[in-house]
């Protein structure tokens, strides 16, 4: 199993233009002869790797603590996009709209246009991530956010996908639990080369050696299930 950290350091990542800078407040230090180390920190909730909740742009929308954690855990697809604006035409031709979680790798320079945002808004996508500071840009930034968040699509921004190849992975990106706010930092990871039971079927991160896995499961020594994991990663 390989775990890929796709999070950015919350105190070392440049903030979005206009947002306040974060800082670390040293309260106690063992280097100063005190009995323990104790720190506090200040940050904008939209710094580095974070999740936007509907409340960010939707009046009365769900806050970050009200989004189901199932949204942030499960199968995902990483898709590469060219730098600059991602058009609706490109999205329709290249993005898997049947996936529940999609991460866009654009080397930190891609962003959705209104047309591509509305493409995602009309799908079953639960979470849309990107390695840019914001999923939108310029005058269309608010429209892009609103199009997605109105449909309760969680937005995962500020990812580090520099070491990630396009393909299928297992995502874990739970935001910090903070009541009544519109966003929160998260520690996002991708897992590859592993087998998961999703509750209804098996899922394997994409890997050639998993295409013909034989798995055997025993339930208290009485129930034995022999099965073949096919190329589509479902047990039939």
Residue 196 pLDDT class (50, 70, 90 cuts): low
Q: How far apart are CA 102 and CA 98, in angstroms?
A: 10
The two tokens of residue 232 are 């589509």
What number of residues does the chain have? 236
CA proximity to 112, closest of 84, 75, 133:
84
pLDDT at position 104 = 98
Q: Is 56 one of the catalytic residues?
A: yes
pLDDT at position 29 = 98
The two tokens of residue 37 are 């180390």
pLDDT tens, residue by residue, 24-35: 999 999 999 999
Residue 206 pLDDT class (50, 70, 90 cuts): low
CA proximity to 161, closest of 213, 109, 85:
109
Task: Catalytic residue, from 46, 50, 56, 145: name it.
Answer: 56
pLDDT at position 1 = 80
pLDDT at position 221 = 41
The answer for residues whose C-beta is within 8 angstroms of residue 151's C-beta and 6 or more apart is 121
From residue 23, how far is each of 15, 40, 44, 181 by CA, in Å?
Answer: 12, 9, 10, 20
The CATH architecture annotation of domain 2-7+46-192 reads 3-Layer(bba) Sandwich (3.50)
In the chain, what are the domain boundaries? 2-7+46-192, 194-236
């Amino acid at each position: 199993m390989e775990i890929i950290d796709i999070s950015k350091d919350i105190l070392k990542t440049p903030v979005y233009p206009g947002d306040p800078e974060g800082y670390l407040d040293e309260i106690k230090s063992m280097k100063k002869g005190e009995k323990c180390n104790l720190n506090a920190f200040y940050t904008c909730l939209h710094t580095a790797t974070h999740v936007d909740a509907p409340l960010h742009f939707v009046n009365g929308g769900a806050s970050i603590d009200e989004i189901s954690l199932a949204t942030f855990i499960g199968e995902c697809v990483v898709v590469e996009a060219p730098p600059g604006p991602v058009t609706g035409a490109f999205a329709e031709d290249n993005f898997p709209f049947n996936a529940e979680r999609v991460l866009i790798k654009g080397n930190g320079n891609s962003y959705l246009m209104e047309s591509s945002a509305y493409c995602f808004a009309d799908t079953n996508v639960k979470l849309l991530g990107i390695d840019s500071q914001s999923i939108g840009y310029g005058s269309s930034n608010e429209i892009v956010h609103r199009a997605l968040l109105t449909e309760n699509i969680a937005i995962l921004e500020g990812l580090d996908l520099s070491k990630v190849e396009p393909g299928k992975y297992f995502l874990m990106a739970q935001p910090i639990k903070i009541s009544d706010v519109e966003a929160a930092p998260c520690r996002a990871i991708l897992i590859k080369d592993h087998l998961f039971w999703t509750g209804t079927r098996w899922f394997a991160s994409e890997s050639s050696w998993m295409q013909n896995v034989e798995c055997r499961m025993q339930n208290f020594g009485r129930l034995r299930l022999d099965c073949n994991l096919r190329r589509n990663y479902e047990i039939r």
